[in-house]
Amino acid sequence: QVQLVESGGGLVQAGGSLRLSCAASGRTFSRYAMGWFRQAPGKEREFVSGISWTGRSSSLADSVKGRFTISRDNAKNTVYLQMNGLKPEDTAVYYCAADSTYQLLSVDYWGQGTQVTVSS
């Protein structure tokens, strides 16, 4: 079992930045690919970014490329999502996820989510 706890969400103006963190506990964190999904009101949950357990491979949704960066620190059991150039359409609840591959096609564990609100 893996427990995931997100932090770092909040309210920011358009063009601003936030860094989300996801702290993991339980089974061996470093053996899991990690990543982020988001869900805006009235929309389906969508993939944002994923990173392999080594950190050498990663993926970003087209909508966030050039603005978001994913990283992980296996010594701290934490994965990060640096979000720059935020837009109002980035407003959503952001969920941390753990899976066997960084494409996060079949998520094994979810966090409880953290709200990100971008004002125009």
pLDDT digits (tens, 9 = 90+) for 1-11: 889 999 999 99
What does each C-alpha distance from 60 to 1, 7, 47, 73, 119 come to in angstroms?
Answer: 26, 20, 8, 18, 23
Distance CA 59, CA 38 (A): 15
Cβ within 8 Å of residue 21, ≥6 positions away: 6, 7, 8, 78, 79, 80
Distance CA 39, CA 100 (A): 22
Buried (b) or exposed (e) across 88-108, using 16+ Cβ within 10 A?
A: eebbbbbbbbbbeebebeebe
pLDDT digits (tens, 9 = 90+) for 24-51: 988 677 789 999 999 999 999 999 999 9
